[in-house]
Structure formats: C-alpha cells, structure tokens
Amino acid sequence: MGRKAAFTMLFLLLIVNSTTASDAARLTLPSGMSNPLTIRYPELARAPAPVAIKEGLRATYEMVAGSPDITTEGNVAFVGGDTGAGLVQVTVVALDGEEAATWTEAFYPDPTTGGMKKVNFYGSVNPAGCGDFWCNPDVLRSIPERADEDLYVDRGKYELGGREYDVIRFSFQSQGISLIMIYDLNTGILLHHTADYTSTMPEEGGGIHSRGQHAIMRLSGLREVSIPWRDGTVPSWVQPGTTLLFQGQHYFWLPQLPDVAPTASPLDVELQIQKVHKRFFEGRQQPRTAEAVQLTYVPLVSGIAQLMGLWVPQEALSLPTGVVDSDPNTGMVVSVLYSGQDGLVMEETNNDNYMLTATYDSSGRIVQTVTERRSGTASAERDVLQLVM
C-alpha cells in the first residue's frame, strides 16, 4: 500500500460511524473517530462554547498515518506496511445555539510537486461545549484524575511548537480502538490526538491476521478564515427532506499523451437535507458512479462561515472579484470570479494539482461544480456536475 493510499484509507475508515438524528450529528475528533468524552462527562455537552471558539475558526493538524500488516503464527510475527503524512483541517462553519457545525478536510502532498491536494471531507454537528477540536476548559479543569482499565486521566505539561502548555490527557481503550487526547487547560483546544484501530481474523492453518490503522495528529495552526460576508441565514429553499440531484461526467486523461482523448463516464451526486438550523443545515452526500462498487456516503453540513459551501447569503451576490482567503498551511486560495444579481462564481485552488469552481444562482443555491485533480504529471481527472432537480 502506498503512502497516499494508507492516509486515504485511514481517513475513510475512521469517518464511517453509526448515525444519530442525522448523518452529520456525530461526536467526532479530527481523526474522524467518535469522541467518547461527552458520554463519560455529560456536563461537557451542556457547557457553552469556549471563548476561543468562533465561527470561521480553523484548526490545522499534521497527521502521520500508518497501516501495519501483522501476521502471527505461534511465536513468530511478520510486520509490514507503509506510512503517509498529510494535513487535516477542521473549520467551525456555524455556531447555532447549543450546537456547533464543523467541516473537516484531509490533504495529502503530491509526491512529485508537493502540492497539498484535497483527498477527503465530511461534516459534523457537535455540542458547542465539546466539538471536534475543543472542549470547555472550565469543565476540563474540574475533571478528576483516574486510572481504570478503559480510561486513564492525568494532568501535566506538554510542549508544542516551542511552547509549554498545562494540559489534561485522556487515554481510552475499547474493543480494538485506542484514543489519546491532550487538551490545553487554558483554552480547551485539542493539542495532540492519537487514534488506533485494530481488527483481527483467523487464517487457514490456525494463524491470526491483524490489520491496524494508526494516526498521530498534532496541532500545527489555528486561524480565523476570512469570510467575505458579515452575516446571513439559511435560505428559504432549504427545507428538511429536500433532495438536490446533480448529474454530470467524470473525465480522466494522461497529460503526457495530449493526442489521446479523455475517457468519460457518467457521475451522479445526491444531496439530502435532513435537518435545518438558522445558520447551517445538515444531511448527507451520496455519489454514484458507473463502477460496480459505489462510493461511501459523506456526512454533510453547510454553514454561514463556510467558503465553497452549498449556499451563500444574498450579501455574497454583491462581492467584488478577487482573492477572499489564502490558507498558509495548504496553499489553497479562495477567490470570487464573478458576482451579480444573477449569481456568484467562486474558485478554490492551490495553483498546482487541485481546483474547485462553484456556481451559485440568484437565490444563493449551488447549481454547478467543476473539480479538477492532478497526480503529478502522470494523470488528471475532472468532475463536472450540474443541478438537475
């Protein structure tokens, strides 16, 4: 398994969890694993958001992912596998009462150009007091230390980026899953996170095959994304039970063979709106291709502080053209290409191997997307989707 494949498969494995009120209503961590803290400490779910948590706040984590392959036969163990490195970014796209909506994106560096290409994304809805990368620090400071078989809690010092923090550490063990979370006791921000998942199955001859996924994540950046509109509410066309169907084509070509025409195959994406709030909505995205094995659905949110989301407020239709936001960690630049009373066109690109163009109509609804991805100079693909209903 290659480095990118290990990183991508880990991220896909970790985000597939059971659902609750909606597909996005999941207590997640930056790894995608479910966060057990609000179950062990219900007061976190009832607490307000920390002072540091605001709409548009983005946390970036460096992630090292591995996929060891272990076979045990008697006393002999054979260990193999590969590792990969990437970035995970979690953005607070809406704070609405007692709930927080976040958008998580995973990036992997192109081995040829080094450009950080987006490889996965999903949305989550959490209690405002304990989200994907934070917990209320007042509650954290009141949690006693403990040492049990499944949960270990202690306090101490943690150094990150040349700075020392007073922290609380949680270590969970349960049914092949191991989680470690280290939070800053001053702000409540998650500084360090480790996630391990192991599964085993018997082999012919009496051996045991063990497959594991491992991720180590450290906070590398915290900043507020530049949101070009001041405020707004979810538009009236957004209603629970609404389904948006996008149809189009997936194109694949080899840039080194310019005389060879791209191959094309049909591509459909269905967006289901399950729950609507004042400042965001939640649901799921289900892509469908011509392949026999269909892609996994994606838990979805779209909020007021989300660039390249599924809607924009009316104020966005009068934005000037030009750069809106530039991310120093991934190199992604978001720009307005066109604005007018008939709609808006925005672009997100790293000017290397990834570009997304989104078109919105006069109601602020997304009606077309064009996504282009390249793998060095070896291959390229483009997805063109248009709203049909």
Query: 267-313 pLDDT, tens per residue?
Result: 999 999 999 999 999 999 988 766 655 667 889 999 999 999 999 99
pLDDT of residue 33: 84
Q: What is the Cα–Cα distance from 376 to 188, expressed in whole angstroms?
A: 39
In DSSP terms, 187 is beta-bridged to none
DSSP calls for 315-342: GGGGPPSEEEEE-TTT--EEEEEEEETT
Q: Name the residue among 73, 56, 53 with its Cα closest to residue 136.
A: 53
> Phi/psi at 183 (nearest 5 deg)?
-110, 145
pLDDT of residue 381: 94
Q: Name the residue among 349, 338, 319 with its Cα closest to residue 228.
A: 319
Q: What is the Cα–Cα distance from 49 to 55, expressed in whole angstroms?
A: 11
In DSSP terms, 351 is beta-bridged to none
Q: What is the Cα–Cα distance from 132 to 152, expressed in whole angstroms?
A: 20
User: Which regions in the chain score pLDDT beneath 50?
Assistant: 1-3, 5-20, 67-84, 209
Residue type, 297: Y
CA angle 29, 153, 65 (to 5 degrees): 35
Cβ neighbors of 76 (< 8 A, separation 6 or more) are none
Q: Residue 49, SS3?
A: coil
Sign of CA dihedral 241, 245, 246, 249: positive
| DSSP one-letter code for 43 | H
pLDDT of residue 15: 45
Q: Tokens for 179, please give them.
A: 């989680």
DSSP calls for 182-229: EEETTT-BEEEEEEEEEEEEE-TTS-EEEEEEEEEEEEEEEEE---SS
Q: Tokens for 15, please give them.
A: 């985000």
Q: What is the Cα–Cα distance from 38 to 20, expressed in whole angstroms?
A: 15
Q: Name the residue among 368, 370, 334 with its Cα closest to residue 350.
A: 334
Instruction: Work out the widest C-alpha separation in the chain, in whole angstroms.
Output: 71
Ramachandran category for residue 378: left, alpha or beta (phi over 0 → left; psi -120 to 50 → alpha)? alpha
Q: Give the burial string for 227-236 (b: 16+ CB within 10 Å, else e).
A: bbbeebebee
Q: Tokens for 36, please give them.
A: 């057990």
Q: What is the Cα–Cα distance from 21 to 43, expressed in whole angstroms?
A: 20
> What are the counts of helices (DSSP H) followed by strands (DSSP E) for the chain?
4, 24
Cβ neighbors of 339 (< 8 A, separation 6 or more) are 316, 317, 318, 319, 320, 321, 345
Q: How high is the mean pLDDT of the chain?
A: 85
pLDDT of residue 43: 96
Q: Residue 13, SS3?
A: helix
pLDDT of residue 78: 27
